[in-house]
Amino acid sequence: MVWNEKKLDSLLTIHPTTAITDNNLRLQSSIAINHKVNDKLSIKIGGILTRIFYKEQIENAAKLGDAMQTYVNKTGNTDKVQAYAEGKYAISDAMSFNFGVHNQYYKLIDRLSVEPRLGFRWNFMPYNTFSIAYGLHSQSEPLSFYLADVTSGANSSQPNLDLNFTKAHHFVVGYERQLGEHTRLKFEPYFQYLYSVPVVPNSYYSLQNVESDWSFSDSLVNKGTGRNIGIDITLEQFSSNGFYYLTTVSLFDSRYKGGDGIERESRFDKHYVINFLAGKEWSVGKDKRNIFSINGRLSLLGGDRTIPVLLQESAQKQDIVYDYAHAFTTKKPDAQILSFSINYRINKKTHSSFWSLHIINALMQKEFQGYEYNLVTRKVEKQEDPFFIPYINYKLEF
């Protein structure tokens, strides 16, 4: 990805504000061996090797008219090695136990992670299933954070290459009931505890909340924590007479502690995400070989958390000034997004043709982009862009 941005000031002078080169090439090879020890026990072992070639160059101006500052300027390559072993033991026809361990080594930061996984599944009574699982999971961060140049006086260094993985304990309990031949209901309450999260000391800042931050140049330490608790509910009808639907409801609460040790709601604490998908297809034409179908999706989303803007200070500075002391105490508007497609497949003896019309965000829900200071009106303004995307697709298959 290459991205360059320029802006006009009040005198209509053009100033460069952002220049980003984020190019990554990943070459991956993997191997896996499955072995059935006996009627009750089967095991699988494997490995994944990933070679990463990168070019990261990031420049940004602190404010309009300032000189561009270099945050990252590195080219190189590194490796990530993963090895795993997992097994399944059938205690009985109705009970099974899963176990395993996942290991990963990231050469860039010279860190190794060993992650155990356990699971149990019980089909009790007709059409009922209970499950419970635990896993330790580790995650690496985007390259730009590791490679960021941190300046202290006349010296520049890359202290974030000493970071460890972000780690999390996952606990999930599940209950599933078959309501009919084609319908299933599932409940999955879960708890996730995050630790070793990179944070900026004595700050609200935590990588748990990062969407994209191209102008980052601070030292990080693995002292942040977080927790997510919630429940996922799924009601699903598999295709029957050409009709299907899927309803998912996610209710959750997400919190974190940054480098200042204060617990706050996380950026992504929407509280709820609800999706409803449905579709119907018909066989049409003289010999019923052609397929006509309609599919739709409605999503109801709580808004992500945001950082409040200090209006008076922004007016004085003529730029956006955020109230970091009250980070994530405000939120974006909730969203309702409706999308659908109409499809028609014509099946011939030697080929098939497929036509489809897609409408994305039919309700023209506005997407909140953030805040900007308008130099003409001298006011802080919300940046909200309504988007409506129709497109037609045609495909020919032989």
Coil, helix or strand at residue 392: strand
Question: Does 27 map to a domain?
Answer: no
What does the pLDDT read at residue 29?
97
What does the pLDDT read at residue 154?
67
- How many helices and strands, by DSSP H and E, does the chain display? 2, 23
Coil, helix or strand at residue 13: coil
Question: Does 105 map to a domain?
Answer: no
Distance between the two ends of the chain, CA-based, in angstroms?
A: 35
Distance CA 329, CA 327 (A): 6
263, 240 Cβ separation under 8 angstroms: no
Q: Which residue has the tokens 């006996």?
A: 38
Question: Does 335 map to a domain?
Answer: yes
Coil, helix or strand at residue 159: helix
Question: Does 308 map to a domain?
Answer: yes
At residue 348's C-alpha, the angle toward residues 342 and 349, to 5°, is 155
238, 246 Cβ separation under 8 angstroms: no
Q: Which residues contact 38 (CB under 8 A, 6 or more apart)?
A: none
Distance CA 253, CA 269 (A): 6
Q: pTM for the complete prediction?
A: 0.87
Question: Does 311 map to a domain?
Answer: yes
What does the pLDDT read at residue 153?
66
- DSSP category for residue 67: P
Closest residue by Cα to residue 271 from 307, 305, 302: 302
Domains held by the chain: number: 1
Per the structure, the complete domain to which residue 325 belongs is given by 270-398
276, 220 Cβ separation under 8 angstroms: no
87, 43 Cβ separation under 8 angstroms: yes
Coil, helix or strand at residue 136: strand
Per-residue tokens: 338: 């409706």
DSSP per-residue letters across 187-199: EEEEEEEEEEEEE
227, 200 Cβ separation under 8 angstroms: no
DSSP-based helix, strand, coil % in the chain, nearest 5: 5, 65, 30
Q: Which residue has the tokens 């080219």?
A: 75
Closest residue by Cα to residue 68 from 219, 220, 218, 214: 214
CB atoms under 10 Å from CB of 389, counted, come to: 10
At residue 302's C-alpha, the angle toward residues 301 and 305, to 5°, is 135
Question: Does 46 map to a domain?
Answer: no
Question: Does 312 map to a domain?
Answer: yes
Question: Does 264 map to a domain?
Answer: no
pLDDT average per 10 residues of sequence, the chain (398 residues): 77 81 92 95 97 91 80 92 97 95 96 97 92 97 90 79 96 95 95 97 94 83 97 94 95 96 95 97 87 95 94 87 93 93 90 93 87 84 86 89
